[in-house]
Structure 1
């Protein structure tokens, strides 16, 4: 899939329409200096320290596309708590030459609300002899609340994501073991082969290892493209595991 065929080619902040860069979320240093973010690969990672604004930017892109800010598919319209920012109202998305057939916005912090919404829509007992049209059938046929947090995340990746889709994921590793994160890489690769695009905010160097992806680092007052080996996530994890004894002595030393 070349750049012209990506579902989102770039996200641009309509700076002239922003009422004030002194109010949230436009007062975040990265957003205050933000102009345009280009997507050139089928898998893009947004990384950075906590509080840099990567989840805020990701949420803005998702909402500008039409996803519910709390997550789910384009058809999900619930509102548990209006905590999302107005950033999406000031973003313009440049769309590719074709529309995706599938899509999902997954955010770790509100996935419980998505699961509850699905259960509410599926409310009512099964009718014997009648084929079920429950939404949970698209997630493996079992309520997401009846699975562990990690299992429910992975159920969406395996069963709900069908390909030819736009998948926007906010910290999908939050409930996944390292082994499950590697399994997610496998699933992502399958979906990339089915003409899908991923935009992912993450802290996981395992996920960032996906070959052929692009990594944007949000720091200070800017966004720049980096290699995996230049991210703090990779260097700190590698340094710790290569000599954890020394690192622990330094971290836990008495003053």
Structure 2
């Protein structure tokens, strides 16, 4: 494990209430201690989990449009306003890694093709010549290596349930011996089930460690599967 702590420099925060400083979780953040090789951020959209993950990527020197330290391309609104106001504590520090933004993966794939890296580095086939799910798995299989930190924002976006299970195998192979670290923002109850991971919930305006069975993702999914007809009747019935 490499990244040990994320600290917000509150004394340096601007005196305004603009995004992202208006997010309640960010307002209340002092420091977040990381104690696992695999850490999940969960919470509703807008809760701040992706904002904090992007700030960590910025502080790591990764391209906040998506990619590693040597991937230079840009997308609209890819800069992190929060990155200048956090500090990262390492032991030891690593410079290898990758930041995955699911919504900008197409631009990353175009960037890879433009530098003539695609066919060599991703299984001998351009990422654009693979399905969305195949290209994600190719990234995980061929780009992700040992002794690195990986920051993934909703990697399940392109992965079927079966491919999410395949990703869990890759995650385990890389992280089990402590040579790779993952911080993942996700809505997937499958990914969240990874054993011995730490889950931080960004709901209720603060960051709290939570058990897998206490996440909304697990509880709602289980209730739906166990009570599908009743659940659908309740949400679809006429007022």
Quick one: distance in 2 between partners of 1:82 and 1:245? 42
d(CA) in 2 for partners of 1:82 and 1:54? 17
**Secondary structure in 1 aligned to 2:207?**
strand
State how far apart, in whole Å, the 2-side matches of 1:48 and 1:182 are: 22
Q: Which residue in the other structure is 1:117 paired with?
A: 111
Kept after mapping to 2: 8 A contact 1:21/1:32: no
Q: 1:90 to 1:98 in 2, by over 3 A?
A: closer
Q: 1:65 aligns with which of 31, 42, 60?
A: 60
Report the 3-state secondary structure (helix = DSSP H, G, I; strand = E; otherwise coil) of the residue aligned with 1:200.
Answer: strand
Question: Any idea what SS the aligned residue of 1:19 has?
Answer: coil
Pick the aligned partner of 1:52 from 47, 53, 57.
47
Pair 160,83 (structure 1): closer, same or farther in 2 beyond 3 Å: closer
Report whether the alignment pairs 1:155 with 2:149. no
Residues 1:83 and 1:103: Cα distance change in structure 2 (over 3 Å) = closer
Q: Please, which runs of 5 or more residues in structure 2 have no aligned partner?
A: none
Within 1, Cα distance between the matches of 2:122 and 2:58? 23
Q: Give the deviation of 1:113 after TM superposition.
A: 1.0
Deviation for aligned residue 1:84: 3.0
List structure 1 segments (4+ residues) > 6 angstroms apart after TM superposition. Answer: none
Cα root mean square deviation, aligned: 1.3
Q: Which has the larger radius of gyration?
A: 1
Instruction: Specify the SS of the correspondent of 1:222.
Output: coil
- Identify the residue that residue 100 of structure 2 maps to in structure 1: 106
Report how far residue 175 of structure 1 moved: 0.5
Verify: 1:32 aligned to 2:27, yes or no: yes
Structure 1 unaligned spans of 5+: 1-5, 123-133
- Aligned residue runs from structure 1 range 147-186, under 5 A: 147-186=130-169
Q: What is the TM-score normalised by the length of structure 2?
A: 0.96
Q: Is the CA contact 2:118–2:125 (under 8 Å) kept in the aligned structure 1?
A: no
- Which deviations, in whole Å up to 9, do the C-alpha atoms of 1:38-90 show, x marking residues without a partner? 11000000000111011111001111111000111111121122343310011
1:181-222 deviations in Å (ceiling 9; x for gaps): 011111100001351000000001111111111000001321
Query: What is aligned with 1:126?
Result: none
Q: Is the 8 A contact 2:39 2:184 kept in 1?
A: yes
Secondary structure of 1:32 counterpart: helix
